[in-house]
Amino acid sequence: MITSNQFRNLLSLIVATTLSVGVAIAQGTLDLKIEPDPLSLKVGETATLKITAITKDGKSIEEGMPGFFALRSSGFVPSSGLHVDSVGNVTAKIPGIYNLVSTFATEDGNFGMKYIQVEVRNNPIAKVEISNLPQQVYEGTVIPLEIHVYDELNYEVDNTDLKITTSNSKVGQLDDLNNLYANSTGTMTIAATAGSINTEITVKVVPNPVDKIELSSDVSEARTGDVIPFSVKAWDNKGKEVADANMSFAVSNAIREVAAGATAFIDENGRFVAEEPGTYTVLVSSGDRSARKTVKIVDRGITREIEMVGQGSVTSKHSSDLWVWEGVDGKDYAVTGTWGADGTAYFWNVTDPASITLVDSVKVDARTVNDVKVSEDGKVCVISREGASNRKNGIVILDVTNPSDVKEVSTFTEGLTGGVHNVYIYQNHVYALSNGQRYDIINIEDPANPVKVGKFELENAGRAIHDVWIEDGIAYSSNWNDGVVMVDVGNGIAGGSPSNPVEISRSKVAGDANHAAFPYKSKDTGKFYVIAGDEIFPLTFDPSTITIPSGYLHFMDFSDPDNPKEVARYEVPEAGSHNLWVEDDILYIGYYNGGVRVVDISGDLMGDLYKQGREIAHFLPLDPNGYIPNNAMTWGAQPHKGHIFFSDFNSGLWSVKLSPEKPEETKIDTK
């Protein structure tokens, strides 16, 4: 028998493992009946779920611990759209379709798990807004209308029966995509109706004063993926500039011999980028006046060979994260964790990347050592624990002054018994995730006597966190649906410190699956970005079989922290992103079944970087002796002294090397 406290921790572990790793745990020894199933709620409504646990021989069980967790319908991604408490009260927050995980565990170790679908419906519509229509437009121009519909709780509503009309079709007409064509001078009323709610705006169409347009750029030839800025000016027939001219940009694509398609894009600010080589014509118009400019796009030409150098094979269990560092003795070392196994962390000498040598290992009370980090001075290693037999979990602090003789210094579990999935070390402090809900901040100036000094946690219902990374005293946490959260933990920009973390800003990420974030400042342009990576697994994910995850990298321009903007993406078809690293404007990604990807992120960024040919190289670690033979599931990659080291879920630690960069014949400057 286990104690009630251990019992609660067991249930917490089941849910935490489901959340942080994306594992569809087996149904166990109990069948569950959930009522009501399925469940449908309006935003703001609450319902109570009832669990009935039934043994395999048909007996109902009264005594036990129920548990609940809400997930998005697309897979194992936590959702803030539902708030579920410990007794099954479900409160609808955001419209959508969700999977709700229900668990039931008994003190003798039996458990069951079941999913039910929850539909959250909109409340009655309360407001319709047309956000970008000025009261005066110029004759002959086209304006794409931006229309937003909100319910009575101010949630934006999609897929409504929205109708847009104009009172005078001679003055202005609307097409099926809500583009307004200002045909002739006069006055008209634009009406937007959703349900019983109607919004009207009176618009005056006036003569277009534009007589001449000039389109210019300093660049006439560039590579695929280079962003070319175009500037445009308009004048009337008296030579006076028309500053408020309504302009529309378009691109005439290059003619391709096979499978012609849209291969270039220009935004509303005149920034152009192409995915394919060729000659493109950029057009800008205002009414019947227009201008054009032709640009030549050549292949980016950055592809390089990548070759295997060495391997530290781990094939008897799954590997997790890695960290590579220069030891105090001047030699190079790496540490790797293990997943769903026996709590082992491996230490490797990688001074010769072609001859990776295991020099020590540490075994702790855990099933998973998910994360491993080494301090800036190379003396202290911190490893995370999940699935400890005593349910205490937490972190283990190691002395790695001599990586060939690693010594355990201390264990810290206060507030971390729910399991630690990820950690980060920054200036003698460990930032440790607690049960997927927050990060605790632990002072390790004296590694033998760690002390908790602070914590940070979002306050909204359904909150969840997966990772945290510290740069220049700012913590960048990955909070799934809540996106990237910036917190001052010593930078001073918001008066924060490790003992008083202060939130600076947060930004939603498209897809609501933010799993990892890496901040970096472009050496080429000086812009500050945060790369936010997805992690999405299907509900049927089984780590013992071949699985195809999904998700990609979102490039967020954080140059203005109060108004971050997603500007680019990197997405490998039919593969899923995981951990990442940036050095010298080169991105290194562990892309799960897509292996290691090396990507050029120099210059301005816009659009789909994969399609633009920005990938320098990729490598699939196929090991016939792997835990799952010949199955790449690359966890993360780190460049170190001219080599790329990475860990693979099925085969351990690897090192690879890029061939020398090809000399550039012509440097094209598009800044």
pLDDT for position 28: 63
Please give the model's pTM, rounded to 2 decimal places.
0.86
Cis geometry, peptide bond prior to residue 78 (ω within 30 degrees of 0):
no
Question: Which H/E stretch holds residue 164?
Answer: strand 162-166
End-to-end CA, the chain: 67
pLDDT of 186: 97
What per-residue confidence (pLDDT) applies to 70? 75
Phi/psi for 456 (5° steps) reads: -140, 135
- Residue among 614, 620, 649 nearest 635 (CA): 649
- pLDDT, one tens digit per residue, over 597-653 is 999 999 999 999 999 999 999 999 999 999 999 999 999 999 999 999 999 999 999
Hey, is 19 helix, strand or coil? helix
> Which of the 8 DSSP states describes residue 86?
T
Domain boundaries in the chain? 4-121, 125-206, 213-298, 306-656
**Tokens describing residue 231:** 């500037």
Contact 110, 143 (CB under 8 A): no
| CATH class given for the domain over 125-206 | mainly beta
Determine contact, residues 230/272, Cβ cutoff 8 Å: yes
In this structure, are residues 547 and 561 in contact, taking their beta carbons and an 8 Å threshold?
no
Tokens of 44: 């703001």
Q: Give pLDDT, residue 399.
A: 98
Query: Per the structure block, which two tokens stand in for 118?
Result: 């929850």
Give the strand pairing for 136-138 and 197-206.
parallel
Q: Is 620 in a helix, a strand, or coil?
A: coil
pLDDT confidence of residue 99? 84
CATH class of this structure's domain 306-656:
mainly beta
264 by DSSP, 3-state: which? strand
What count of other Cβ atoms lies within 10 Å of the Cβ of residue 468?
26
In this prediction, residue 27 carries a pLDDT of: 47
Q: Are 190 and 130 in contact (CB under 8 A)?
A: yes
Q: What residues are paired with 484 via a beta bridge?
A: 478, 507
SS3 229: strand
pLDDT at 520: 96
CATH number among 3.40.50.800, 3.40.50.300, 2.40.110.10, 2.60.40.1080, domain 4-121: 2.60.40.1080
4-121 and 125-206 share one fold: yes
Which CATH class name applies to 213-298?
A: mainly beta
| DSSP-based three-state secondary structure for 317 | coil
Q: Which of 644, 525, 669, 509 is nearest to 585 (CA)?
A: 525
The ranges of the chain with pLDDT < 70 are 1-28, 72-80, 86, 107, 109, 159, 254-262, 461-462, 539-542, 663-671
Nearest to 208 by CA among 137, 119, 263, 279: 137
- Which percentage of the chain shows pLDDT scores above 90? 68
Whole-angstrom distance, CA of residue 512 vs CA of residue 154: 19
User: Are the C-beta atoms of residues 247 and 216 closer than 8 Å to each other?
Assistant: no
Dist. CA 159–CA 162, nearest whole Å: 8
Q: Are 650 and 623 in contact (CB under 8 A)?
A: yes
